Amino acid sequence: MDISNNSIERLCRVFGYLDILEKKDVEFVSSMELAEAMGSAAHTVRKDISILNITGYTRKGYPVSSLKKDLGNRLNLNKTRKACIVGLGRLGSALLDYEKFQEDGFEIVAGFDSSVNKLERIRTDIEVFPMSSLKEMIVSKRIELGIIAVPAENAQAVADRLVEAGVKGMLNFSPTKVTVPKEIVNVNMDFTNALRLIAAKLNK
């Protein structure tokens, strides 16, 4: 299927918003309302949805629950996926307890760190392990996603080990770009670059 990255990202956001509407028992939502919530345009929303061959109802909009279900099916968001966090410094341990992940269908089932010290001090409901058991745990717990929260200089090494252990996707919080085999999905969250982007846009 040829659906652009931008469309996918927008649709993922729509999915998130539908989740909110569903919890409020809203039955129908128009492309206009979705667009407003997303900060985009109504025709963009309609186009994105129509790419997936999902249709709404004239004069009523899209049925919230069914659209959410359909989007979820097409975008693979209907099943819970297991993830682990590597690197339990300030950021990593904050992510361990970020409840939103669970609510949204991403279950953090393990944390890893190379420092025994950190492992002992950490207070969380989630099991934490030394780096040496990374592969074993990823395999036995069937973890699909790895979240990298280690310093830049270790990011590539961690990515390599995650790949070797068999994760399918990685979310990389380190400011380094990591190189992974092309079948592995990798998304970067580079805080500094986000600030740079803001600075660069300030006087455009």
Partner DNA sequence: CTATATTGGTGAAATAATTCACAAGTGGAG
Partner DNA sequence: CTCCACTTGTGAATTATTTCACCAATATAG
Q: Does 166 bind a second copy (CB under 8 A)?
A: no
Q: Pattern 9-38, binding to DNA, x per CB under 7 A?
A: --------------------xxxx------
Q: Pattern 86-125, binding to a second copy, x per CB under 8 A?
A: ---xxx-xxx-xx-xx--x-x-------------------
Report the amino acid identity of residue 175: P
Q: Does 53 bind a second copy (CB under 8 A)?
A: no
Q: Does 197 bind a second copy (CB under 8 A)?
A: yes
Q: Does 148 bind a second copy (CB under 8 A)?
A: no
Report the amino acid identity of residue 72: G
Residue 42's binding partner, choosing from a second copy, DNA, none, with beta-carbon cut-off 5 to 8 A by kind? DNA
Task: State the virtual CA torsion across 73, 77, 82, 85 in degrees, nearest 10.
Answer: 150
DSSP class of residue 27 equals: -
- Residue 123 makes CB contacts below 8 A (sequence gap 6+) with none
Please provide the size of the chain in residues.
204
- Taking the least distance from each CB to DNA, the nearer of 5 and 76 is 5
CB 88 within 8 A of CB 149: yes
- Taking the least distance from each CB to a second copy, the nearer of 41 and 60 is 41
CB 113 within 8 A of CB 131: yes
Within 60-89, which residues bind DNA (CB under 7 A)?
60-62
Exactly one of 15, 61, 86, 131 binds a second copy (CB under 8 A); which one? 15
- Taking the least distance from each CB to DNA, the nearer of 8 and 91 is 8
- Taking the least distance from each CB to a second copy, the nearer of 59 and 204 is 204
Among 135, 113, 131, which residue's Cα sits nearest to residue 122? 113
**Alpha-carbon gap, residue 139 to 141, rounded angstroms:** 6
156 by DSSP, 3-state: which? Answer: helix
Query: Would you tell me which residues interact with DNA (CB under 7 A)?
Result: 2, 4-7, 29-32, 40-44, 46-47, 49-50, 54-62
